[in-house]
Amino acid sequence: MSSFPQEASSSLQEKKTQGRKVCEKCLELEEMTSALEEYIGRTNEQLLKSEMSDMELEQIFSACADPMMVIRDDGIIVRANRSMLEHLDCCCENVIGHSCTELLSEQECKLANSHKKKSQTDIEITNEGGEVSNFIMTTTPLVTLDGTPGTLAQYKDITDRKKAEQALEKAHAALERIARIDGLTQIANRRTFDESFTEQWQKSLVEQSPLSIILCDIDFFKRYNDTYGHQQGDTCLSSVAQALEQTLSEQSSGLVARYGGEEFIFLLPATSVEEATAHAETARNNIEQLALEHQASEVADNVTLSLGVSCTIPQSDMQPQHLIRTADEALYQSKETGRNRVTSVEFSG
């Protein structure tokens, strides 16, 4: 009997086996191909998201109203938004790739290269025309696109706010001045005198230096108002006040204030009774020299002044107000003994 059928059957079996192996390889390749395609797809999707994210960040960076730029740690500017280019008044080619020292002030470069954590600093920038602008410069460490460390610098324009603050400070100073100045005579008011007197008393107490007070009063001022009217009386008060203040030109630490009505008071630190008396005589003479007509006066045809001087070296057991009271008593003596004169006393407690 022939063996051909058996050999054919064996060969067919081998072919089937080989076919199955080939199919298994194909399936394996297909699975690998599918996995590779899936991996490539995920990678492309991630790259696309990354590119979209970079585009979004670039759009945000470019659209930001505040000037912004990225500076590498070697001082080279690697990115600047449109607002920054406008702020520097330069085109992109003249900014990107250039050193910050070419375009920024020394202070700005120093802040950008400080390598600190996020910080904010007020800076002033003066343009070529001399105009000053104020900014808050915020610096934040970051890693640049090329992988090197750098700094994101952002500028917030606060020029208008600074101007408003300065205007507010001026207004506050003006209000403070109004609060301390007598509105009519434009010299110090009673409040200012009281504050200064307290301060100078303590200072004289510590230094054991003399402190003098001169209290003065326009003679027969009520009659002046009755004769010439209150408006002219106000003019008279202003003229007298300015003349008294002028006597302090060489007494830089002294003060003259309107004490009330037609009364004025001098505060003279480190001034002896003799020096204060001489000063009072100068003040009295200066008022006479004004030659302000006063027909209702019983002393002279012009406006005159009566003055009382008091001086002491403050001691811890003294009451400060007693010095003023003594000056008032001296003024009373000047009035009682004929007016238009100076009376001096030393207060000893």
Query: Cα(337)–Cα(343) distance, rounded to whole angstroms?
Result: 9
Q: Is 262 a catalytic residue?
A: yes
Per-residue pLDDT tens over the stretch 35-50: 766 766 676 666 555 5
Q: Determine if the pTM surpasses 0.75.
A: no
Eight-state DSSP code of residue 66: S
CB-count burial class (<10 Å; 0-12, 13-18, 19+) for 180: middle
Identified catalytic residue from 28, 176, 262, 281: 262
Per-residue pLDDT tens over the stretch 101-152: 999 988 888 888 876 778 889 998 888 788 889 999 999 888 887 788 889 8
The distance of Cα 301 from the centroid of its chain, to the nearest Å, equals 54
329 backbone dihedrals φ, ψ, rounded to 5°: -65, -40
The distance of Cα 288 from the centroid of its chain, to the nearest Å, equals 47
